A = this chain, B = another copy of it.
Amino acid sequence: MASLPVLNQPPRRSGALLDNLARRMRLHAESVLKPLGLRPRHLVALTVLRDRDGSTQQALATTLMMDRATVVGLLNDLEADALIERLRSPEDRRRHIVQLTDRGARRLAKAEFALAGVEDEVLAPLDARQRATLYELLLLAASGTVPDCDPGDHSPEPTC
């Protein structure tokens, strides 16, 4: 043991703050999303689908850590709006392959664009670089991967 003098402090878990921040974001997001026919839950699914397109529903449930039944309901909503498609897998015809449609991608982009104000309000104390860092940390934590390391990389360490 060499150099970690951080034993006296309480651990300072992020869970609670995460909870609070998510609630606040959600609260404001709802009204912004409503004109687009979306609810926060849908945005979660779409966001994941953008990076994990062509997933099985099962795989989706695993990534999202959600019950299968819940995912089904989610996808029903999205499919009813033609934002995603369900295709039968050729290899195993029990499976459904979930595909983001063009319409879905466009809607997602539109929603994210519309959410600028919400983020500005909730993440007000954070400057642009801090927000970028936050996003990267969240993405890393959520999916374990950084899809494409873009040039605007502000992460504190060279993960990519």
Chain A positions within 8 Å of B, measured between CB atoms, are 4-6, 9-27, 29, 40-41, 43-44, 46-48, 50, 64-65, 108-109, 112-113, 115-116, 118-119, 121-126, 129-131, 133-135, 137-142, 144-145, 150-152, 156-158
Closest to A151 in B: B5
Most buried by B among A22, A108, A135: A22
Q: How far is the CA of A18 from the CA of B46 in the complex (A)?
A: 14
| Complex alpha-carbon distance, A113 and B9, angstroms | 11
B residues less than 8 Å from A123 (CB atoms)? 14, 141
B17 in contact with A138 (CB, 8 Å): yes
B29 with A25: CB separation less than 8 A? no
Q: Given A20-B44, A48-B20, A65-B24, are A138 and B6 neighbors across the interface (CB < 8 Å)?
A: no
A139 to B26 Cα, complex, angstroms:
18
Q: Are the CB atoms of A124 and B151 closer together than 8 Å? A: no
- Is B25 a contact of A18 with CB atoms below 8 Å? yes
Pick the residue among B11, B18, B158 that contacts A138 (CB under 8 A). B18
Partner of A19, one of B14, B26, B112, B119: B26
